[in-house]
Amino acid sequence: MILIDTNVFSELVKPRPEACVVDWLFQHRRETLLSTIVIAELSVGIRTTRGQAKRALLFPWLNRLIERHEGRIAQFDVEAAKSWGELASSLILTGERSGHFDSMLAAQGLALGVPIATRNIRDFERSGVSLIDPWAA
């Protein structure tokens, strides 16, 4: 199984998505996990998108994404929360910064023992979670 970062799913709604990412997602469609963290991040992004017409298209897209991942939605559970506490405190103590969504997703990947597919390798590499870049795969 592979946790999918927000930027990978977001690629699908671009006017011209990268073919390599679309192909990669298709090839791994039965292995993809949709995190509740990614659902939250996508929801924030949609709600803050300019243009009511665009938002009106994106909410149904998000709902379809959730439906397609039925049975493969990774909850941010107690183990992930404990893992995030360890990771976030480590970053704070070393003076490093990481966005909450990214560090929480990294912690979830560590707790589940699964890699994360993302384009933002740099945002995750300090966490120690295994990474896959669909743009380079």
Domain ranges of the chain: 2-75+113-132
Residue 123, pLDDT score: 87
This prediction's pTM: 0.91
Instruction: Report the CATH fold assignment for 2-75+113-132.
Output: Rossmann fold (3.40.50)
**Residue 129 near residue 110, CB atoms below 8 Å:** yes
Structure confidence at residue 126 (pLDDT): 87
Do you know the residue count of the chain?
A: 137
Amino acid, res. 95? G
Mean pLDDT by 10 residues, the chain (137 residues): 98 96 97 98 95 92 97 95 90 81 95 97 91 95
Q: Which residues pair with 64 in a beta bridge?
A: none
Q: For residue 39, which of 81, 72, 16, 85 has the smallest C-alpha distance?
A: 72
Burial class (CB in 10 A: 0-12, 13-18, 19+), 102: buried
